[in-house]
């Protein structure tokens, strides 16, 4: 039994609320969750009794703990992709640059992520701060470090294909899924957004999104079809549909 399985089993046995575990990680970063915007009736807050139950009963949650440990809030309104990338690189234990705010310790942050010359060639930090990034740019920025990616546009995959690919990934260790979707399509405000998937509940056909804009929305459970449709929307910056990127070590 690996440590992740043991940890979840222990939580289930003693009934510690898993939503509180997320909150604990947030507090560990020195940032407290503020009051967030209300959710539509189609979405389920992870930090609720129903949300916790969905996680406990999930059979595809290998990504939940490693991502939760490295859960961060995006540094500015356009940095959802950067925050998501940083979480994944840290969860994969990719060799990181020094973080000046932590002395000589090495960890990926949203500031030092762009210290890599190859990363700057893909897209400079100041450009991302103004306009965010497309799905292809998300993939290219990830691959400026020793990881490999595979890009899937929402308009090119069926709901069944998306579900099968994402669930298989969430059942395996050491790989992750980042989704790029239109908030308005799922009843949120307002434009395109990027965040990691952390789990899937088969009984309800819902995916867990660890939303990196924690000042705005909590982690949510969303119907697979609703997420698929939100990823099949067109990104005006690229002229292509949004979608998802699968990430693993190179």
80 flagged as catalytic = yes
153 flagged as catalytic = no
Q: Where are the domains of the chain?
A: 3-249
Q: Is 58 exposed, middle or buried (0-12, 13-18, 19+ CB in 10 A)?
A: buried
Residue 1: per-residue pLDDT: 47
* Partner residues linked to 197 by β-bridges: 209
Residue 35: per-residue pLDDT: 78
131, HSE (Cβ side, Cα atoms, 13 Å): 11
| Whether pLDDT at 21 is above 90 | no
**Catalytic option among 80, 153, 226, 235:** 80
Q: How confident is the model at residue 157 (pLDDT cuts 50, 70, 90)?
A: very high
Q: How confident is the model at residue 34 (pLDDT cuts 50, 70, 90)?
A: low
What is the chain's length?
Answer: 250
Residue 33: per-residue pLDDT: 53
Asked which of 12-21, 44-53, 149-158, 189-198 is least confident by mean pLDDT, the reply is 12-21
Q: What is the mean pLDDT of residues 40-56?
A: 97
Q: Are 214 and 234 in contact (CB under 8 A)?
A: no
Pairing verdict, β 240-241 and 234-235: antiparallel
Q: What is the mean pLDDT of residues 227-248?
A: 98
Asked which of 34-43, 87-96, 136-145 is least confident by mean pLDDT, the reply is 34-43
> Cis before residue 190, ω within 30 degrees of 0?
yes
| Whether pLDDT at 66 is above 90 | yes
Q: What is the mean pLDDT of residues 196-220?
A: 97
∠ CA 70-232-247, rounded to 5°:
35
**Catalytic option among 70, 153, 193, 235:** 193
**Catalytic option among 45, 63, 211, 226:** 211
Residue 52: per-residue pLDDT: 96
Of 3.40.50.1000, 3.90.70.30, 3.30.530.20, 3.40.50.261, which CATH number belongs to 3-249? 3.90.70.30
Residue 24: per-residue pLDDT: 42
Count Cβ neighbours within 10 Å for each residue of 128-150 and write b for 16 or more, e otherwise: beeebbbbbbbbbbbbbbebebe
- pTM greater than 0.75 (yes/no): yes
| Whether pLDDT at 16 is above 70 | no
Q: What is the mean pLDDT of residues 199-208?
A: 98
Tens of pLDDT, residue by residue over 69-116, are 999 999 999 999 999 999 999 999 999 999 999 999 999 999 999 999
Cα separation, 174 vs 166, in Å, equals: 13
26 flagged as catalytic = no
Q: Are 138 and 242 in contact (CB under 8 A)?
A: no
Q: Are 45 and 220 in contact (CB under 8 A)?
A: yes
Cα separation, 35 vs 75, in Å, equals: 18
The phi and psi torsions of 131 (rounded to 5 degrees) equal: -135, 5
* Partner residues linked to 236 by β-bridges: none
Sign of the alpha-carbon torsion through 218, 220, 225, 231:
positive
Asked which of 18-22, 127-131, 135-139 is least confident by mean pLDDT, the reply is 18-22
Residue 190: per-residue pLDDT: 86
């Amino acid at each position: 039994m690996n440590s992740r399985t043991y940890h979840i089993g222990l939580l289930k046995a003693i009934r510690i609320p898993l939503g509180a575990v997320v909150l604990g990680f947030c507090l560990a970063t020195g940032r407290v969750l503020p009051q967030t915007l209300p959710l539509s009736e189609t979405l389920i807050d992870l930090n609720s009794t129903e949300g916790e139950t969905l996680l406990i009963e999930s059979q595809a949650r290998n990504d939940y703990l490693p991502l939760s440990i490295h859960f961060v809030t995006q540094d500015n309104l356009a940095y959802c992709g950067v925050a998501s990338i940083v979480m994944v690189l840290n969860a994969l234990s990719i060799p990181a640059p020094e973080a000046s705010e932590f002395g000589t310790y090495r960890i990926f942050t949203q500031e030092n992520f762009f210290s890599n010359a190859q990363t700057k060639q893909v897209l400079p930090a100041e450009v991302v701060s103004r306009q965010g990034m497309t799905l292809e740019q998300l993939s290219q920025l990830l691959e400026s470090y020793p990881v490999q990616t595979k890009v899937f546009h929402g308009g090119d995959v069926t709901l069944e294909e998306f579900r099968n690919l994402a669930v298989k990934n969430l059942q395996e260790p050491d790989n992750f899924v980042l989704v790029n979707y239109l908030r308005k399509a799922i009843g949120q405000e307002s434009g395109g957004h990027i965040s990691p998937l952390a789990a899937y509940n088969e009984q309800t056909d819902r995916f867990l999104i660890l939303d990196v804009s924690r000042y705005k929305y909590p982690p949510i459970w969303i119907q697979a079809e609703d997420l698929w449709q939100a990823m099949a929307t067109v990104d005006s910056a690229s002229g292509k549909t949004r979608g998802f990127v699968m990430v693993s070590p190179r």
